[in-house]
Structure 1
Amino acid sequence: MDSISLIGLVVGFSAIVVGQVLEGGHLGSLVQPTAFMIVVGGTLGAVMLQSCTATFLRGMKMARWVFVPPAMSHEQLIQQVVLWSHTARKEGLLALENLIPNLPDPFLQKGLQLLVDGVEPNRLREVLEVEIGTWEGQMKQSARVWEGAGGYAPTIGILGAVLGLIHVMENLSDPAKLGSGIAVAFVATIYGVGLANLVFLPIAKKLMAIIGSMTSQREMVVDGLEGIANGDNPRIIESRLRGYVGD
């Protein structure tokens, strides 16, 4: 569980609510189901229009990474690749074949299978880099679903406010309702801007960071597999892989 994401979400919304109370406003004035429906529904429709089905569904599923990121341990992966290099050095590449079915990641399975098959180091890197590029492109496209939502939400919020003001103008004969009506209309703008900057855009940015880290891991694996294919010393391979790990 990524606690900082949950804390950030709570802090962001709490600041708005507390600010409303300190200004003497009522929390009930921020609760407008119609405005919420306009903003969320309109944004959802716009995002669905810009995306293909697979990309949209993948983007929705990836949202859970913000709070429960995929397991990523550079250290564990380094130790695994170094173990492969020791095994290959002592017993030969074919000794790695029995390890392939036990690997949880299809990318690792494919890379190790290419290594066992005796693919030339340059060709192995070329094949796996194409795989990485395709995967990264698909993941980033899915993350942009949330970036798109962050771009559309404020505008949809303004649209909701205009619709509310139209309703207010239709009731100009009753001045007592004008003040509250205008306040309600602008709640849609709050929803649009708030959701964009407190939810949608932060989710997009965090997903991009996670994808970047996962891509770095895959590039590290390719580097290690190429080193094994070249017959490099396991210590050299480990030293090179540790260059991928930040402070």
Structure 2
Amino acid sequence: MDAATPLGMALALVALVVSIFMEGGSLAQLWNPSALILVLGGTVGFTLTTFRTKDFSMLPKAVARAFSAAREDRAAIAEEIVGIADTARKQGLLELQNRLAQFGDPLLRRGLSLVIDGMDPQAVREVLDQEVAIQRRRLESMAAVLEQAGGYAPTVGIIGTVMGLVHVLSNLGDTERLGPAIAAAFMATFYGIFTANFFWLPLGTKLRGQAERFEEHARMIILGVTAIHTGDTPSRLREKLETYLRDESGRAQRSTWAPAPAAPGEMDMATDHPQRD
């Protein structure tokens, strides 16, 4: 699980509870079952109306995916790709077939299997590009469902408040219950705004970020597979992969990634196996 997601939610809840107590209120004031049912049910219903059943059915998976941590270690994958390139140059591509099941990343296994089967480098890239595009669209579709729900929630809350105020105005004779009734009516707006900004929109944004990081990760793998196919030297491949191992400040992530100088004789091997465009 990505610790940032539950930690952020917990911090938001703590801030809300503390502010209520500082104002002399109580948590009971936030409980209004009818308003909560309206907001949650209306949000889900409007979202279901917007999307296909197939897209909407991904909602539970989208929520689970937003809470999960990314399963990628670019430095480790890059090191693995360089090792594969070294094996391919020394022992040939067919040697990789015996080790294919050992490679952890499914896209890497897929790309290498295409290479081993003798597919043209351009065709390999096109197949992998298409698979990456499909996976990214799937993640973005999940994010769209969450974001759309976040857009509907405040609107449903306003609808609930208007309904509550209509009920209040139809019973103005009972002055003793007027104040509590108005407060209860505004709880629907609170639920709508709170669920949108506490749950739906943050998780949707989280998924969009995962989609972007997935594509960067996939592009690094595609570059590596293509370089292996065209006979790049391990040292040259390291230089290419270095671009994908930089953090936001532009510094290379070298926790497990330590580019090494070309091995003795590697330049001669490069002459025997020239890089193809």
Provide TM-score, normalisation by structure 2. Answer: 0.84
Comparing 33-42 with 16-25, greater Cα deviation is found at: 16-25
What is the aligned partner in structure 1 of residue 275 from structure 2?
Answer: none
CA distance in 2, matches of 1:242, 1:153: 44
Q: Percent identical across equivalent pairs? A: 37
Alignment partners' CA distance in 1, 2:189 and 2:106: 45
Read off the aligned partner of 1:58 and give its amino acid letter: M
Q: CA deviation at 1:4?
A: 2.1
Q: Report whether the alignment pairs 1:32 with 2:32.
A: yes
* Alignment deviations for residues 59-98 of structure 1 (CA, whole Å, 9 cap, x no partner): 4213223332131111121122112111111111111112
Query: Which one has a larger percent helix, Structure 1 or Structure 2?
Result: 1
Equivalence map 1:121-160=2 (5 Å): 121-160=121-160
Q: Which residue of 2 aligns with 1:166?
A: 166
Deviation at 1:107, TM superposition (A): 2.5
Deviation at 1:103, TM superposition (A): 4.2
- Output the CA distance in 2 between the equivalents of 1:103 and 1:165: 62
Flag the structure with more relative contact order, 1 or 2, with Cα contacts below 8 A and sequence separation at least 6: 1
Could you tell me which residue of structure 1 aligns to residue 20 of structure 2? 20
- Tell me the distance in 2 between the aligned counterparts of 1:148 and 1:234: 46
Please, which moves more after superposition, 176-185 or 119-128? Answer: 119-128
Counterpart amino acid of 2:64?
R
C-alpha distance in 1, partners of 2:89/2:179? 79
Count residues in correspondence. Answer: 247
Deviation at 1:123, TM superposition (A): 1.9
CA contact (8 A) 1:62 1:143 kept: yes
Give unpaired runs (5+ residues) of structure 1.
Answer: none
Call closer, same or farther: CA 1:59–1:238 in 2, change over 3 Å. farther
- Answer whether contact 1:139 1:211 (CA < 8 A) is retained: yes
**Structure 2 residue matching 1:65: 3-state secondary structure:** helix
Please state how far the C-alpha of 1:105 moved relative to its aligned partner. 4.4
Shift of 1:102: 4.1
Structure 2 unaligned segments of length 5 or more: list them: 248-277
Equivalent residue, structure 2, for 1:198 = 198
User: Which structure has the bigger radius of gyration?
Assistant: 2
Q: Name whichever of 171-180 and 223-232 sits farther off.
A: 171-180
- Using a 3 Å threshold, how does the CA distance of structure 1 residues 55 and 107 change in structure 2: closer, same or farther? farther
* Aligned-residue CA RMSD (Å): 1.6
Normalised TM-score (structure 1): 0.94
Q: Which amino acid aligns with 2:78?
A: I
